[in-house]
Amino acid sequence: MTFASYAIAALILMAAALVTLAWLPAPAEPVRIHNAVDIARSPDTVFSFVTTPATWPKWHPATLAVEGATHHALEIGEQVTEDYRSFGVRRRTRWTVIERDAPWRWRIESRGKFGEEFSITYTLVPTPTGTRFERELRYRMPNRLASWLGLLARKRVTEESALALRQLKSVLEAETSP
């Protein structure tokens, strides 16, 4: 066999492996990214701010725009459409509020057009100086190939989530300044 024959055979094997991965179901457990920050504001103030989609572009670096019910803290069943940038690609998703226990917990979910599933949960805990704000992003991809790509993205998404919480703290605490 020539080198070209080996190269073609290797390419065919790689393509077959990718097709196989694309058809295998995703792992049962979603990827989980958890971040927390202490904010010198009351839980009511933090909750109202983070559950009002019009504020998202002010603190979350991926959010480009929001449409729909954007100017109030969303209730269970309400939806909002978010335009965001992920890995340099502009995307759009529709979030639905699944859980709301003001001012302690709020959860939204979205399903992508290829079957990917996303969930974001905010948990707020009072502290002596304000609020401990926790954000948990969970995502599950539709197949093994997409899951593998999602794991490659995990570091960048984790860094972006940490930046979002630092910016949230900065924005909210700046609003308390005289």
Q: What angle do CA 10, 14, 19 make, to 5 degrees?
A: 150
How many domains does one find in the chain?
1
Q: Decide if 54 is inside a domain.
A: yes
What's the mean pLDDT in 161-165? Answer: 95
Q: Are 85 and 91 in contact (CB under 8 A)?
A: yes
**Alpha carbon 51 to its chain's center:** 14
Q: Decide if 12 is inside a domain.
A: no
CATH code of residue 169 = 3.30.530.20
Q: Decide if 16 is inside a domain.
A: no
| Domain around 110 | 30-174
Whether 9 shows a pLDDT value over 80: the answer reads no
Taking each helix axis from N to C end, the angle separating 43-50 and 144-174, rounded to the nearest 10 degrees, works out to 130
Span 24-74, pLDDT tens digits: 555 567 789 999 999 999 999 999 999 999 999 999 999 999 999 999 999
Q: Which of 55, 74, 72, 83 is nearest to 171 (CA)?
A: 55
Q: Decide if 68 is inside a domain.
A: yes
